[in-house]
Structure 1
Amino acid sequence: MNIKTGILLIIPSLFFLISCNKDTVVTKTTSAEKNVAIQEDQIYQIKQPAKSNISRGLIVRNIDNPLNIQEIEIGLMDFSSKYFPTDKYYLQEGQYLNEELINKWLERKSKDEPDGLNPSKNNNGLLKSERESPKILSHVLEQNFINKKGKLAGISLAISLNEYYHFSVMDNKGATYTDEVKVDNDNNKINDVETYGKKITRNIINDIRSNKDIPRVPIFITLYQESKQNSIIPGRFLAETYLSEDEVKIPKWNSINRKYYSFPSDELYKKDRISSDILSDLKTDIQKYFVSLNPTVTGSLLYKKDELAKMNINVNTPVISDTELIALSQFITSEINIISPKVDTTINIVNHKKEKVGFITWNPVAKKIYTNL
C-alpha cells in the first residue's frame, strides 16, 4: 500500500489563521490545541510584533463549547477575506473592543445597565424569569486588518448568539438551580435568534462609530448561532453585512448558507443520503474488521451553499496498541480517498481519554494522503 506522508507544520492556533479555498496542508498541534487544515496561498500574515486580543480569554469564558470557538474564529477569517484579501492585508488580534465594553453589552438591559443588549428580566421569580427572558448575546469577537503601510484598514466582528440559554441561579437559601431553554421555541419559521442579533447590531455599530478611540474604517459583521454546550458539531453563521468607513447604518444583510451536520443523524440522511450511506458502510467495515477495538464512528460534515465542503470523522476506541493503531490507520488510508474524492476529509483515531492518537487526511487537490501517528 502506498501511503504518502505529509509534512507536518506546528502552528499556534491563534497566529497562523485560515481562509478556505485551495491547496491544503495538514497541521499538527499539541494535545491542548486542534488540528486545522490551512490554505497554502490563503494564509493571513500576522502584523509584527504580534499583539494579543485586548479581551484575551473572554471568549473562553463566554462560549462553552470549544467547537463553537474554533468555528467562529476560523469562519470570521474565511468570510473576511472577501473584503480584506490575504495578499493585501495583515491580520491582527482585536485591539479596540476591550473586556469592559463587551461585558457591558452582555448585561441585561435595565436602569442600572442601560447599554446592556440582552433582554431585560421580569420579576416572576428566579427560575421563571430566566426561562421567560433567556440571554441571547453571548460574545463579540473582533479581528483587525492592517494594510501594508501598517495602518488599520478594517474591523471584522462575529456576534455570537445563544440558540440555547444555559443558566444557573441561587435562591436566598443558597440552593442552586440550573436549566437550559431554547431561545426560539415557536414554530413560525422565523429565527428569533437571528432577528434579535440584527436588532442589537445597530447598537453595537452606534457604540463603535461614536467611540473616538476606534478609527473610522470599514466594518464587516457576521451573526453566529452557537450549538449546544455538549454538541459534537459547531453552530452556524446566519448572516453578514458590510459597512464602508462612511456608513453608520447597516445597508442590508445577506444570508449565509454554511452548516454542519453530524454523523450519524436523521438530519444528515435527509440532507445527503449518499454521503450518509457511504459513512455508514465505513462504520460497518471498521466495526467488522476491528471487533476487538470496540470502535464507534462519529463525525461532522460541513456544507457550503448546500454542497459538501469538508468531512471530519472520529473513530473512537477505548484501548488501542501501537500495532492495532498502524493496522487501523492502514485500513483507513486505503478507504479515505474513496469516501468523498472531491472533498477535504480527515479521519481521527481517538482513545478513551478523547485524545487523538493519530489522524489521516485526504487532500483532493494535491491528491495526497497525509498521516500522523
Structure 2
Amino acid sequence: MKKYVQVMMLAGAALTLSACGNLKNSDLANNATTTSNTKKKGYQTTTTGKNGYTVLMKNGRYITSPISGLTATDNDNSVDTRELERGLIQISKGEYSPNSFVFQEGQYLDASTVTDWLARKSKNNPEGLNPEAGTKKNYNPYYLEEIIEQDYLTGSNPNYKMGGMSIGLALNSIDYYQKVKDGPEYQQTISRSQQRKFGEEAAEKIIARLRKKKALKKIPITVGLFSKTSKDSLVGGSYFAYGTADANSSKITKWKSISEKTQVLPTVGSNKAINSDDASSFNSFKSAVQDYFPNISGVTATLRYENGKLAQENISITTQFYGYEQTQSFTRLVLSTAKKYLPKNCPIEIKIGSVDNVQALIAKETADSAYQVHVYGGE
C-alpha cells in the first residue's frame, strides 16, 4: 500500500479564488492570514466560491482526511485525483445542498481501516474488498483502487453534527500486474458492467460497516462509482453511477447513471473531437495566441462534457518568458482572445505559466459570469 501526497483542498480553493479577483480581499485569504498569526479555538468556516460549500475549519486549520491518497496498488494516475474529489462534490450538491450543509473532508474512516478494505480478502484480512488473486491462468484483478470520504454537517458553531456522508469508490478500468516478481507487466481490462456490479456490491458492504458507528446510523450515505483511466492517460476518469442509502438503511434501492466524458485538445492521431464546434473554437483561440508571441511552448485544453453538454473547459498555456511586463501584456491578449473565440456558455479556466510555475490565471466560474484575472507577482 502506498500513500501519495495530495494538494489539500484548501490550496485548491485558494487557487480558484485567486483566479476570480484579488485574493487578499477574499474570505479565504482573511482566514488564512488570521490563523497564521493567532491561535484560534473551536470551529471556523470559510467559503470556496460561488455555489460552493462552506468549509469547516478547526482551531484555525483546514481539516484533512486521514485516508487521502491511499491506493490499492502503485498504478495510480495523478490526473484522476482531482476528478475523483470534484465529481463527488458535484454529486453531493444534489443530495446535500450547499445552502444547508457544511463540508469537511472525511473523518470517520481511518488509514488502517481503509488499508485493510483496499487489500485482497484473505484469512488474515477478512475485511478486504478486493478478491483473492486467483491463479496465474485465472487472475482476479484489483477492482477497487481508492476510497474517499466527504462529510456534510448541519447546525451552527459550535454545535455541528453529521447530516450526510458521501463515499467515492475509484474502480480500475485496467489492472496492471506481474505474474512473477520483477517479471513483465500484464494488463487486464475491466468492463463497465464488471465495475458496476463490483461497485454496487462493495457499496452496500461499506455502508453496512459504517452503520456500526453511532454518529452514522441515522444519516443518508451517498456512494459514487468512479471509473479510473489508464495510468498514462492525459485526462482523469469520471463517475458513471451513484446512489443514496436512506437513514438507518444499508441498501441503495436506486442507482442513477451519470454521463460524463473528458477530452484533451488538440486531438491526436485518429481520435475525433467530441464536439467539432468546440474543437474549432479552441483551434482558433490557439492559433491567435501562438501568433502573438513566438515563444509559446504549447496550448492544450481539457474539456469535460456532462450529458453531451460542455460543462468545463480548462486551458493550459506554456510560455518561455518570465518578464513581468511580457506576462501582463500576454495575459491581456489571452483575455481578449478568449472572449472572442471560446464558448460563452460554460465555466472556463486558463492557466498561463512556465513549466515550473503558474504566472497568471484567467477564469470565469459559471457560464454567465465575467472573466476575472490574476497575474502572480502583480499588484
TM-score strictly above 0.5:
yes
**2:135 matches 1:133:** no
Q: 1:336 aligns with which of 335, 338, 341?
A: 338
**Aligned equivalent of 1:9:** none
Q: Structure 2: which 5+ runs fail to align? A: 1-6, 14-18, 30-46
Conserved in 2, the CA contact under 8 Å of 1:26 and 1:361? no
1:141-152 superposed matches below 5 A: 141-148=148-155, 149-152=159-162
CA distance in 1, matches of 2:194, 2:12: 32
RMSD: 3.2
CA distance in 2, matches of 1:289, 1:56: 42
The letter for the 1-side match of 2:170 is S
**Aligned equivalent of 2:290:** 287
CA distance in 1, matches of 2:133, 2:363: 48
The letter for the 2-side match of 1:233 is V
Conserved in 2, the CA contact under 8 Å of 1:163 and 1:225? yes
**Aligned equivalent of 2:237:** 235
Aligned residues: 336
**Aligned equivalent of 1:99:** 111
**2:304 matches 1:309:** no
Conserved in 1, the CA contact under 8 Å of 2:118 and 2:146? yes
Of residues 301-310 and 54-63 in structure 1, the stretch that sits farther from structure 2 once superposed is 54-63
1:186-205 superposed matches below 5 A: 190-205=192-207
Tell me the SS of whatever aligns to 1:46.
Answer: strand
Q: 2:371 aligns with which of 362, 368, 372?
A: 368
Q: Structure 1: which 5+ runs fail to align? A: 1-11, 19-23, 31-36
TM-score (norm 1): 0.78
CA distance in 2, matches of 1:219, 1:208: 9
Q: 1:40 aligns with which of 41, 50, 59?
A: 50
The letter for the 2-side match of 1:284 is S
TM-score (norm 2): 0.77
CA distance in 1, matches of 2:360, 2:11: 22
1:1-373 superposed matches below 5 A: 13-15=8-10, 25=20, 38-46=48-56, 48-49=58-59, 51-58=63-70, 64-124=76-136, 132-148=139-155, 149-167=159-177, 171=181, 176-177=182-183, 179=185, 181-184=187-190, 190-211=192-213, 214-265=216-267, 269-291=272-294, 293-338=295-340, 339-353=342-356, 355-362=357-364, 364-373=367-376
**Aligned equivalent of 2:36:** none
Shift of 1:101: 1.6
Conserved in 2, the CA contact under 8 Å of 1:154 and 1:217? yes
The letter for the 2-side match of 1:43 is Y
**Aligned equivalent of 2:40:** none
Tell me the SS of whatever aligns to 2:310.
Answer: strand
CA distance in 1, matches of 2:120, 2:72: 20
Tell me the SS of whatever aligns to 2:54.
Answer: coil
Shift of 1:360: 1.8
CA distance in 1, matches of 2:299, 2:74: 30
Shift of 1:222: 0.4
Conserved in 2, the CA contact under 8 Å of 1:158 and 1:221? yes
Of residues 160-169 and 94-103 in structure 1, the stretch that sits farther from structure 2 once superposed is 160-169
